[in-house]
Amino acid sequence: MSLLTIITLAISIAVLVAAAVVLVLNPRLFLLIYRNLGRNFLRTSLTSVAIVVLVIMVTMIWTVVSFLDASTAEQSQNIKLIVTERWQLPSQMPSSHADYMDPEKPNAILPELKPYVGKDDFMTWSFYGGSTEKDPSKRTRDNLVFMFAMNPEHIRPMMDDLQDLDPKIIEQMQKDESLVLLGKERLEMMNMKVGDKFTLVSMNYKGIDLKFTVGPVLPGNRYNLMGIMNANYFNRGFDTYRTENKNQPHPLENRRLNLIWLRVRDKDAVAKVGGIIENSPTFSDRPLKCETASSGIAAFLDAYRDLLFGMKWLLVPAILISMTLVISNAIAITVRERRTEMAVLKVLGFRPLQILVMVLGEAVLVGGLSGFIATLGSIAIINWVFGGIPFPIAFFPAFTVPLDALAWGFAIGAGTGLLGSCLPAWTARSVKVSEVFAKVA
């Protein structure tokens, strides 16, 4: 759970406990708070709508920012490492590099790595991209497909968000090597469904055009625009190329490996494995570097640093201040209108604290409820209808609003309500009965 979620959850719980105390100790006061909000339905509705809109904006920003923060935060256990070429981007390594790190190849793996890398802690990626359209002038975003070529057995243990993929799908991919798993949005863009067949004219491995069968859809939103294919099928493409080209190897035959993933136990293991790989004479001709996944992502995000800073520390505070002012204005108006009523309540015996609680309660109720509705709506509409926030940053296709946002929304609404209503509540609490009725009488 992120720090943001912990703080907002703590605020939400505190507010709910306070509300429960008021409800239990004095349900009629709670009724008065609730009824007062219905006094001017138009004003309450407009205030609520404003809060909903502003909370949705904050939710969207925090969704992106908190996901990126989580992605770039260093883990302390089960840390993923990315192995790439030190001096080339993108990496184009020979396949043999992977053998030196593959625990399934005990005769090839570097002996020093054996204690650190288990059977399910290894994965390789080759990037295969192409178009269903042969004519380059007709290629569009809709008919371009980008895929990870990998060993299907590594999908469940190593791919984020695919740990629960049905094992039968892996079996299908091994049985039919041309089977490809595509994201939902990619399938829609290609106007295809499960079972359809298509041919990709490769753009990064010219001459290696492959036929595919559409397999089950990749779950979730993370891989919406991508695909996963069987590395064996990818590698056989190079063999076919040789056969068709008088035994001439493809120009990229020895440069088809783009990324190697390893997972190690802890930070000590990261340092040791990194040292082994980077200093090994085995890779002296194509030096490698080893970094954690989070630092790799952070490097990618460096170009967006100022944008993310502005979103997090300028835009969000500005929105929160706006919300506070909106609520403050609405509550101040309602307190001004009810000055005589506050005086009457004092005459009846209401203490200043009770009047303060009443006004604060109105603001917290309308703010908290509106905030909660905003984030509930965000989760439903952004995630289920739109499939996430399509913020084109780095290689992330879309960001889904986490369930944590329910706490964010309530806390933002209730918190800004509480803050914004402090001054009007104090004014209400300080109403002098003698002054009010001097004018009335």
Q: Which residues bind another protein (CB under 8 A)?
A: 26, 28-29, 31-32, 35-36, 38-39, 340-341, 344-354, 433-434, 437-438, 440-441
CB of 347 to another protein, least distance (A): 5
CB of 339 to another protein, least distance (A): 12
Residue closer to another protein by CB (options 198, 350) is: 350
Beta strand pairing call for 77-85 and 197-202: unpaired
List, in sequence order, every beta strand (DSSP E) within 103-216.
122-131, 144-150, 179-182, 197-202, 210-214
Whether 378 and 401 have beta carbons less than 8 Å apart is answered as yes
Residue closer to another protein by CB (options 197, 351) is: 351
Residue with tokens 């990064």: 204
Q: What is the dihedral of CA 240, 233, 110, 117, to 10 degrees?
A: 180
Residue closer to another protein by CB (options 173, 345) is: 345
Nearest to 40 by CA among 330, 321, 307: 330
Residue closer to another protein by CB (options 210, 357) is: 357
Helix (H, G, I), strand (E, B) or coil at 437: helix
Question: And the tokens for 165?
Answer: 């993929």
Residue closer to another protein by CB (options 347, 423) is: 347
Q: Where are the alpha helices (DSSP H) in 101-206?
A: 155-158, 167-175, 184-190
Q: Where are the alpha helices (DSSP H) in 84-166?
A: 96-99, 155-158
Half-sphere exposure of 171 (CA within 13 A, CB side): 3
CB of 413 to another protein, least distance (A): 22
CB of 365 to another protein, least distance (A): 14
Taken in order 146, 151, 156, 160, the sign of the CA dihedral is negative
CB of 31 to another protein, least distance (A): 7
Contacts of 261 (CB under 8 A, 6+ apart): 80, 81, 82, 83, 122, 123, 124, 125, 158, 293
CB of 440 to another protein, least distance (A): 7
CB of 346 to another protein, least distance (A): 7
CB of 30 to another protein, least distance (A): 10
Cα–Cα distance measured from residue 372 to residue 388, given in angstroms and rounded to the nearest whole number: 19
**What secondary structure letter does DSSP report for 122?**
E
Half-sphere exposure of 86 (CA within 13 A, CB side): 12
Residue closer to another protein by CB (options 288, 335) is: 335
Cα–Cα distance measured from residue 98 to residue 261, given in angstroms and rounded to the nearest whole number: 9
Cα–Cα distance measured from residue 22 to residue 357, given in angstroms and rounded to the nearest whole number: 9
Residue closer to another protein by CB (options 352, 377) is: 352
CB of 348 to another protein, least distance (A): 5
Residue closer to another protein by CB (options 18, 344) is: 344
CB of 359 to another protein, least distance (A): 14
Residue closer to another protein by CB (options 26, 143) is: 26
Question: And the tokens for 213?
Answer: 């069968």
Question: And the tokens for 12?
Answer: 């939400």
Residue closer to another protein by CB (options 71, 354) is: 354
